[in-house]
Structure 1
Amino acid sequence: MARGQGPTVRRRRLASELRRLREAAELTIDEVGEKLECSASKVSRIETGHVGVTPRDARDMLELYGIAGDEQEALVQLAREARKRGWWHAYNEVFTGTFVGLEADSSSLRAFQALLVPGLLQTERYTRTVIRAMRPDAEEVEIKRRVAARMARQELFTDPSPPEYWAVIDEAVLHRMVGGPEVMAEQLYRMVALAAKPNVTIQIVPFGAGAHPGMEGPFLIMGFPEQADADVVYVDSTSTGLYLEEPQDVRRYTLMFDHLRAAALKPDDSVEVIAEAAGRFAEQAASPDAVHRPFPAQR
């Protein structure tokens, strides 16, 4: 499937168009709900993309807005396509919201992480350790499902038309021992291998850079190939995530990312630093009796 042609992006595009047409018809959400004999909250959820819209509901709304003919049929067809199920529905108990659908449809992904290796770059053992640490009360079956779901997300990199992926990572991530030296060596060598792909760029913000915009927390900027689909910023947290779509919010995070890229080591230098850290962890793994001292910080 081409970038930006998945059901999540189509639902978002349809929601935006329905909102625009309602406003052009000079109708309020309450008036639409009254005329279509449904709740105003339903109309609102449709327009924000929080719920899907059936082809029948789409047709009723379009007729109310005075849209007919080919334009109406095109949007009703969009409603049909937006209701298709993506691969991630097999992991409904793991994924919430529309994050994975948007990620799968993105043509560009710009990520910042200060504490962990970004999910799309994680190895299976690193992922398992992280999930187990964050969910100490989880059953083993849940851990396995969450690990499998994250590995499934990484199939983006083997897509015939993969997104442009740019990750900026704080140097602290290279020092935090997750799962032991063997797991860390494997993880960091994987990052080196992925950075060799033409669509993947990884940069490290060294400790010497001091305070930087990313100290506010991790975030991901998702871009799409169609001009009609505006960028979305996903601000991550342990329990949930916040989606920001207002132009001023997207501009703010885009500027933050640009400043982070400027503060970070150049991509080639970053890969060298990652490889050196991987080598040190590999040496520790080979000498289990060695004292695990902290690595010297990058200046």
Structure 2
Amino acid sequence: MSPTYSPTVRLRRLARELRKMREENGLSPESAAIRLGWSRSKVSRIETGRTRASASDVANVCDLYGAGSSVRAGLIQLAKEVRQRGWWTAYADVFTGSYIGLEDEAALIHQWEVQLVPGLLQTEDYARAVISAGRPEPHDAEDIHRRVMARMARRTLLSRPDAPELYAVVDEGVIRRPIGNPESMRDQLQALLVAARRPNVTIRVLPYRAGAHAGLEGAFTVLSFTEEVDPDVAYVEGTAGDVYIESSDQIDRYKMAFERICDAALPQDASMGLIAEAKEQLSHD
């Protein structure tokens, strides 16, 4: 398997700054490529974050665009930081997209889930049941175990000193649908009750009685970052592939949808009561 990496916030920032410098100099991608001695596709890949620019690449671009010494030094340092390996690269065979790298640097995560407990809140047994059920063909136990361990490693994000704030809203079906055996489902519901006690975690439930609502089109996540220069990203996962939305207009649509979902959801205390009730019912089934 060839090495893979997850584009990070720094990679997006570097790409954005290099593209902005070119545009401010009135150069087309083709003209910049000719002057740099690069291919047109290399300029495009670097400016869209699909390729990591080396420090020497960034130095050459800064020279071409006449960047000041402080800007030049800052962008070269950014290029060096982009090449640092995140913890998730140890699971490059599992995390093949860019989402984990973005999630790892987010300051605020707004998540709407329709079918499953959010990955950051899943217990090991629940995750194993989900991952096993989602494999189209029988996979060996080692492969499933590795994917479960990757998900458990990802879950530690919420307990880091610089942990992001997670604001998750789940459909009532998430807590009613039995995943795995009754005991593992009870443990999962208990884990949600415990997670909600964290100061950086909010969990709310959208009840069945809400009827038609703004989240009917499916689950999505909006990631926000500490630095204002880093725009929000919306993420939609699907069987046909993952979609990353960065257009400000589209991001606003997802934010508005999330607000409307929250308006229809139960308050956190009532949500915890519903989760505790679902857990109690499992004890008597």
Mapped to 1, the partners of 2:76 and 2:41 lie a distance apart of 21
SS of 2:216 mapped into structure 1: helix
> In the alignment, is the contact (CA less than 8 A) between 1:222 and 1:232 conserved in 2?
yes
- In the TM superposition, 1:281-296 aligns within 5 A as 281-284=282-285
Match status 1:186 vs 2:157 = no
Range moving further from structure 2, 10-19 or 35-44: 35-44
Structure 1: give runs of 5+ residues left out of the alignment. 1-5, 285-299
> In the alignment, is the contact (CA less than 8 A) between 1:222 and 1:231 conserved in 2?
yes
CA deviation map 1:224-265 (0-9, x unaligned): 000011111011113531110110011000000000000100
Q: Which residue of 2 aligns with 1:73?
A: 73
Q: Which residue of 2 aligns with 1:120?
A: 120
Q: Shift in Å at residue 97 of structure 1?
A: 2.3
Match status 1:196 vs 2:209 = no
Mapped to 2, the partners of 1:50 and 1:97 lie a distance apart of 11
> In the alignment, is the contact (CA less than 8 A) between 2:7 and 2:50 conserved in 1?
no
CA deviation map 1:97-134 (0-9, x unaligned): 22111101010000000011110110001101101111
CA deviation map 1:198-240 (0-9, x unaligned): 1111111111111112111111110100001111101111353
Instruction: Count the aligned residue pairs.
Output: 279
Q: Which residue of 1 aligns with 2:175?
A: 174
Structure 2: give runs of 5+ residues left out of the alignment. 1-5
Length-normalised TM-score, structure 2? 0.95
SS of 1:215 mapped into structure 2: coil
Poorly superposed stretches of 4+, deviation over 3 Å:
none
SS of 1:214 mapped into structure 2: coil
> In the alignment, is the contact (CA less than 8 A) between 1:7 and 1:85 conserved in 2?
no
Range moving further from structure 2, 32-41 or 172-181: 32-41
Mapped to 1, the partners of 2:84 and 2:7 lie a distance apart of 6
Q: Shift in Å at residue 66 of structure 1?
A: 1.4
RMSD value, Cα: 1.3
Q: Which residue of 1 aligns with 2:38?
A: 38
SS of 1:203 mapped into structure 2: strand
Mapped to 2, the partners of 1:179 and 1:97 lie a distance apart of 27
Q: Which residue of 2 aligns with 1:97?
A: 97
Mapped to 2, the partners of 1:191 and 1:238 lie a distance apart of 26
> In the alignment, is the contact (CA less than 8 A) between 1:223 and 1:230 conserved in 2?
yes
Identity over the aligned pairs, expressed in percent? 45
Length-normalised TM-score, structure 1? 0.90
> In the alignment, is the contact (CA less than 8 A) between 2:7 and 2:49 conserved in 1?
no
Q: Shift in Å at residue 7 of structure 1?
A: 7.5
SS of 1:93 mapped into structure 2: coil
Mapped to 2, the partners of 1:282 and 1:30 lie a distance apart of 66
Q: Which residue of 2 aligns with 1:143?
A: 144
**2:216 maps to amino acid:** M
> In the alignment, is the contact (CA less than 8 A) between 1:7 and 1:86 conserved in 2?
no
Q: Which residue of 2 aligns with 1:247?
A: 248
